[in-house]
Structure 1
Amino acid sequence: MSRIFPSSWFALWTLFLAVLPTFVLSHMIEVPASKKECFFEDLHVNDKMTVTYQVGGGGHLDIDFWLTDPEGQALDKRIKQTTGTASMTAAKDGRYEYCFSNQMSTVVDKIVSFNVHGVIYVDEDDTIAPIEREIRNLAQGLTSVKDEQEYIVIRERTHRNTAESTNSRVKWWSIMQAVVLFLVVAWQVYYLKSFFEVKRAF
């Protein structure tokens, strides 16, 4: 049986304190045509929040996005974009809202994958150990890597869907061409046969 020494306890406790002030949320939603989906986060002054999103399916792979403060003022707005990143630092306490709108489309639903990650503000004075600062930086770096991996996965899925759709269209186009060719050949044979046919008079 292994034994955790006091130094290990200190490292684990420091890691806990470093990870505690962060939050990460990952979602995949379907935004119906002519509708919008909104979410919110309750933040305090100096809290940081970043929203990254990627449209993975539907129409032209675009969506409208905006981020508002507790008073309803727009902090960020993006129109008809496939992917985007919005970062902000809370200037006041309250509920910050972010929305994905598919109101520009009346027929096609959109599939959106998005991550919300942030850092709860902690007053860093000189008493914080250097190892804790390094662990916090490492945690932020891991969050960035996770976002990049999810972005790559969505892009791969989008490209695969495009390739499969193109392959399906080529297949059905080839089948349609073959059917039309056989019909034309059959009509030509029938026409030539009737043209050279000798009519008998009774």
Structure 2
Amino acid sequence: MLGSPSLVTKWMLVLLACLFQWTQGYTVKLRTYQSDCYNENIKAEGYYSVSYEVANNENIDFMVTGPDGRAVHSILTQGSGFYDFPNNKNPGRYLYCFMNPANSPTEKTVHFHVHGFDPDDLLPIEEKASPLEKEVIHLAQSVERILDHQDYMIVREGEHRNTAESTNSRVKWWSAIQILLVCGVCAWQIWYLKSFFEVKRVV
């Protein structure tokens, strides 16, 4: 029954798990040759990810550096990206940077979101939870992670749709220009050949 204490407790745990999920959105402008870096303290058993999108289908470089100072992930010259931090394998402080490539002289606007879940927030609740209730909490975290990936795929689909529509528009206008050019050349050839057969009178 819905009113049973165990079921109510489970629903409360699910709601609390969803409330402890956090998402932060930022917007930065990268001037020519500029880089902008941020750091995240990645904890074991937590969940952290970052997704970004560059305005106007521009491209940037994205790089993640691990706690040991080595690059663990890089995306070069792309307009969007998504990265899950490997918290269970190597917790610690990670650095991620957005860089305007050296071959790009224009300023670029980057929108990025940081998604995370801190296990310490739910530690007092999990200590009193049964194994089934802990699984419910982990399931809520997995659902949130899937939603993050879905949001990223929606952004990518929008970019691809805009690119396809832009390409279709350019092909349409180029085809129209080609038709006009062919018609103009044909008209000029007809006029030029017709001038050979004109009878010119000498007065």
Which residue of the partner structure matches residue 76 of structure 2?
A: 80
Q: Deviations over 1:114-169 (max 9, x none)?
A: 44223334389875322430231122111122022112212321221122022112
Secondary structure of the residue aligned to 2:188 is helix
- CA distance 1:55–1:163, change in 2 (3 Å): same
Aligned to 1:35: 34
Task: Read off the aligned partner of 2:35 and give its amino acid letter.
Answer: K
- The count of corresponding residues between Structure 1 and Structure 2 is 193
Letter in 1 for 2:165: E
Please report how far the alpha carbon of residue 177 of structure 1 lies from its aligned counterpart in structure 2 after TM superposition: 0.7
Deviation per residue, 1:35-56 (Å, 9 max, x gap)? 3333334x37647342243556
Q: Is 1:152 matched with 2:153? A: yes
Give the equivalent residue in structure 2 for 1:100. Answer: 98
Cα pair 2:64 2:94 within 8 Å, conserved: no
Is the Cα contact below 8 Å between 1:31 and 1:101 reproduced in 2? no
Determine the C-alpha separation between the residues in 2 that align with 1:105 and 1:112.
Answer: 21
Alignment-mate amino acid for residue 14 of structure 1: L
Alpha-carbon distance in structure 2 between the residues aligned to 1:79 and 1:166:
24
Q: Aligned with 1:88: secondary structure? A: coil
Task: Supply the distance in 1 between the matched residues of 2:18 and 2:144 (Cα, whole angstroms).
Answer: 11
**Percent sequence identity over matched residues?**
29
Name stretches of at least 5 consecutive residues in structure 2 with no aligned partner. Answer: none
More deviation in 44-53 or 162-171?
44-53
What's the offset of the Cα at 1:86?
3.4
Offset of residue 80 of structure 1: 1.1
CA distance in 2, matches of 1:166, 1:63: 24
More helix by share: 2
| Structure 1 vs Structure 2 CA RMSD | 3.7
Structure 1 match to 2:117: 118
CA contact (8 A) 1:47 1:118 kept: no
Amino acid at match of 1:58: N
Q: What letter corresponds to residue 78 of structure 1 in structure 2?
A: S
Whole-angstrom distance in 2 between the partners of 1:26 and 1:189? 67
Letter in 2 for 1:145: I
- Structure 1: which 5+ runs fail to align? none
TM-score w.r.t. length of structure 2: 0.71
Pick closer, same or farther for the CA change 1:126–1:154 going to 2, 3 Å: closer
CA distance in 2, matches of 1:102, 1:129: 49
Partner Cα separation in structure 2 for residue 125 and residue 25 of structure 1 = 22
Is the aligned partner of 1:66 residue 2:67?
A: no
Q: Which residue of 2 aligns with 1:134?
A: 135
Structure 1 140/75 Cα, relative in aligned 2: closer, same or farther at 3 Å?
Answer: farther
The TM-score with structure 1 as length reference comes to 0.71
CA distance in structure 2 between the aligned counterparts of 1:54 and 1:140, rounded to whole angstroms: 21
Deviation at 1:197, TM superposition (A): 1.6
1:171 equivalent in alignment to 2:172? yes
Of the structure 1 ranges 100-109 and 6-15, higher mean CA displacement relative to structure 2 is found in: 6-15
